[in-house]
Amino acid sequence: MISTSRAALAIGLLSTVLLSAAPASAEGPAVVTTDNETPVLYDDDRGGDASGDDPAIWVDPHDSRKSIVIVTAKEGGLRVYDLKSREIQSLKAAKAPRRDGVEGRYNNVDIAYGLRLGGRKVDVAVVSDRYNDQIRFFAIDPSAAKPLREVTAPDQRFLFSPDRKTVGEEHTAYGLAVWQPTPGTAYAVVTQEGATTLATARIVEKDGRLGYSSVERLTMPSEFPLPDGTTWKPCEEPGVLPHFEGLAVDQRSGVLYAAQEDVGLWRVPLPLGTKQPTLVDKVRDFGVEDVYDEETEECAPVDPNASGFGGDHLTADAEGVDVYYAGGATGYVIVSSQGDDTFTVYDRQGANKSLGTFRVKGVKGVDDVNGSDGLTVTNRPVGKYTQGLLVTHDEPDTGANVDEERDATNFSYVSWGEVARALKLKVSTRAGNDPRF
């Protein structure tokens, strides 16, 4: 049964938003390289309206060389790539299995491990579908030539909308991560586009397919007190609140890390509402007063010289988030800073101190990573990536073989070992968020 919306613990929560951020390095971001990127996707009729957004890595437990990368392409559906970034499957954004289902728009993806389905355990790609305000499920069969097969139960209810007409307003399922507090138990954590709502939904088997139940919601702040006594609300287009997209769950601590795009990175204890969320870091222009221009459909600062009360690491939008486990209590939270094409790494312990930033430079004919949206990381050895793999979205994709007149996106593979060496981080290939290991 869906609960009514619960307000955040507002008074105590808002008192946390003015935490100071660690100073930026005087040397600037470290530079790591990539020579491996997926084929270009084009967001137009000729390209099947495929716009890359969010990746997930499924590690083959028997032969890591057969591991796969699953990515969302919005109206273009899903793509599956091998470790050499070759496409091995393309799935269209099919109609949702509802009486009023329409063709989907797949936004974010994560992996749920060891779910019971049809009397056996399966790993599942869990996907948010914006056009149907639902969660979609795709069983992973590594022995099949096409490893993904949809197993979504019919007639799953809308996550945030009361009816199909409201779904059309598109304040619907957006960002997504999987939370598995115990083996075989899984929840999808989902954000709402254009709103500050976070939700959890328990993944359940229904007549040999997968659906969800027990939806709980938490409303996060949309405006913030400032040290000068004023209250700041991020500038958005009319009818839109500062929403969240990038999510990752620290499976060991039960903490959700959530990127509120125009605000910063939050730490949110799970289950939702049990403890007070904390704003870990703020975007650089936090507190700067902007005004929305209807002609340009953009926000611009009232005072171009205003400095605000922001941090030193994230330039809006704060986007992709994931957690790297490095053994024992050690680990890292990685966040993409879309506005300046960098990535910030935070300690997953204590106050989540910033440990450094990096950018990704393309080599051997591969372009640099720009405007990164979603990202994912595994500490498991996968093929030649013996110290783990980071996969990140790249927009716009550029290069000799890219038609730069079209909206081009793709994904780049980065050795985590190179990131660790650049920022002097610990590496472990034994611990992780994958319960199969």
pLDDT at 288 over 60: yes
pLDDT at 60 over 70: yes
The reply to whether 30 falls in a domain is yes
- Give the range of the structural domain holding residue 287, as residue numbers without chain letter: 6-423
Range of weakest confidence among 131-145, 181-195, 422-436: 422-436
Closest CA to 414 of 70, 85, 54: 85
Average pLDDT score over the chain: 93
In angstroms, the CA 338 to CA 342 distance is 7
- CA dist list (Å): 362 to 41, 42, 315, 321: 18, 20, 21, 21
CATH number, domain containing residue 273 = 2.120.10.30
Please report the pLDDT score of residue 184 as a whole number.
Answer: 82
The reply to whether 432 falls in a domain is no
In angstroms, the CA 133 to CA 125 distance is 17
The reply to whether 437 falls in a domain is no
In angstroms, the CA 174 to CA 186 distance is 18
The reply to whether 267 falls in a domain is yes
Tokens 């929305």 found at:
292
Beta-sheet pairing, 318-325 with 298-301: unpaired
Structural domains counted in the chain: 1
Backbone angles phi, psi at 417, to 5 degrees: -60, -35
The reply to whether 428 falls in a domain is no
Could you report the per-residue pLDDT of 173-221, keeping only the tens digit for each? 999 999 999 988 999 999 999 999 999 999 999 999 999 999 999 999 9
Q: pLDDT band for 431, please (50, 70, 90 cuts).
A: low
Residues 417, 27 contacting (CB under 8 angstroms)? no
The reply to whether 434 falls in a domain is no
pLDDT at 20 over 50: no
The reply to whether 13 falls in a domain is yes
pLDDT at 8 over 50: no
- The alpha-carbon radius of gyration of the chain (Å, integer) is 20
The gap from C-alpha 331 to its chain's centroid, in whole angstroms, comes to: 18
Backbone angles phi, psi at 34, to 5 degrees: -140, 140
The reply to whether 260 falls in a domain is yes
Please report the pLDDT score of residue 364 as a whole number.
Answer: 97
Kindly tell me the burial class for residue 28, based on how many C-beta atoms sit within 10 Å of its own C-beta (0-12, 13-18, 19 or more): exposed
Give the global pTM.
0.94
Could you report the per-residue pLDDT of 61-109, keeping only the tens digit for each? 999 999 999 999 999 999 999 999 999 999 999 999 999 999 999 999 9
**CB neighbour list of residue 143: distance below 8 Å, 6 or more residues apart:** none
Could you report the per-residue pLDDT of 264-284, keeping only the tens digit for each? 999 999 999 999 999 999 999
